[in-house]
Structure 1
């Protein structure tokens, strides 16, 4: 990319000063001190331009700064100082000075060169979209400059590439975010599955404990049955049998003997009769008593 430099030669300085004197000879706005300041500023610009030709950028920068200090609106000093920063690779400072030069430029030619070099500085900083606008402004002031038009094409291509890169980056970021979300969901799912597994294991352990406790209770019950002699269920069966027997036997009505009472009474009578019979038999066996004494 071509970089424009505003050159000021001694002959041009002399002619410039004479023109200014003629222009302001009838005016009180420019006094002798201002004319001397203008001449001194252009002398510094001339000196700085020669130093740039010798690639002595440090000394050239100092000379340009002196020119600006003598005449703050010296377009050549500001513009060429920006160019010197550009040559040193200090693109941010170069951009600042060139924008200042474009603002103070009085002619279209000066504006064209300032905007052209602004576009170059922006391209160096990868600010392609802004560079496109700078080159467009340069062409507005000089539509015939093919060099500016060429740089504009490069800046547009750079802008399109950056847009595509931004889309790809956004896509990559979206894919990365989706993957992170998937990983988080998978981690959450794994945690839930592990928790369910732990809960299931806990339930199995509880069931096993309940089963073991049931077996222990059963064993204690068996031991208790051995100690009592009869199991509880057998006692319950016996009680139920007794109840059934009581149910089968008719209950005596009020004022009547029950069959059991009648049976007991008959047995008692038979026993009494048997005792009487046995007593009588015993007396028979003894015989009748014989008297040994005579009666008188």
Structure 2
């Protein structure tokens, strides 16, 4: 039993030693790839440098140096999105304050390039928490604060302008509604006035005067039409009225002759009056 325990312990020790040796080999390979990548980056061969850094990360996924330097490579090429991702990885995997400080400092630089000043302020603050003595980080923090303040003022100004535009737009809509309402009221008043006028005309018709005038006018038109329809006397002929007047004159003349004849018959007889003059 004692020999078995010693054998198991020996196997465990050998396995641990082999595993540790494998990790050391991976770390050595990763560091070599990082060194190669740095050399290529200094020669401005960023494509080859990126490949070397990726190999370092493949050998040791938690290699802060490989991740950090790969982020720097992306930053130099202007690929800020990928650079930010890699430096965030470096900050998460960093085992020392010095590594965290450098990662957060570079994160702040990338955010400033992307005009995210408020977020950059927080990144620089995190960097200073891990290395308060870094004057460069402190200087960048001041720039980030000033930039964030300017952005805030600009946003407030844009918000005020937007509110003003909305207020003016609402005012224009209210004025338009007011004009529309006034127009509707004028139309309503006009319709009511026309209605009252019509009712007043109907009332006058009921009272008789305007209606009678209308009827009289109509009647005069009828008489005029009838007179126009009457036969007009032709030249050399007597009109019915002239014939009637002539007959009346003849009757009056005959009556006068008859009265004269009767007077002649009674001429010899004297008539006694009641008083002598």
Structure-1-length-normalised TM-score:
0.62
Q: CA deviation at 1:36?
A: 2.7
Change (3 A) 1:69 1:129: same
Aligned Cα RMSD in Å? 2.8
Instruction: State the partner residue of 1:147.
Output: 136
2:19 counterpart SS class = coil
Instruction: Find the aligned partners of 2:60 and 2:93 in 1 and give their Cα distance.
Output: 12
1:101 aligns with 2:86: no
Change (3 A) 1:221 1:108: same
Aligned residues: 205
1:34 counterpart SS class = helix
1:172 aligns with 2:172: no
Instruction: State the partner residue of 1:221.
Output: 212
1:191 aligns with 2:180: yes
Instruction: Find the aligned partners of 2:18 and 2:194 in 1 and give their Cα distance.
Output: 105
Long gaps (5+) in structure 1: 1-23, 229-296
Q: CA deviation at 1:203?
A: 2.2
Change (3 A) 1:70 1:26: closer
* Structure holding more helix per residue: 2
Instruction: Find the aligned partners of 1:133 and 1:139 in 2 and give their Cα distance.
Output: 10
Bigger CA drift: 139-148 or 189-198? Answer: 139-148
Change (3 A) 1:225 1:168: closer
Equivalent of residue 150 in structure 2, options 140, 161, 165? 161
Instruction: Find the aligned partners of 2:114 and 2:99 in 1 and give their Cα distance.
Output: 23
Change (3 A) 1:224 1:92: closer
Q: CA deviation at 1:39?
A: 2.1
1:60 aligns with 2:26: no
Instruction: State the partner residue of 1:126.
Output: 115
Change (3 A) 1:142 1:227: closer
Long gaps (5+) in structure 2: 1-12, 220-277
Look at both structures and tell me which one has the larger radius of gyration over its CA atoms: 1
Greater RCO (CA < 8 Å, at least 6 residues apart): 1
Instruction: Find the aligned partners of 1:153 and 1:226 in 2 and give their Cα distance.
Output: 101
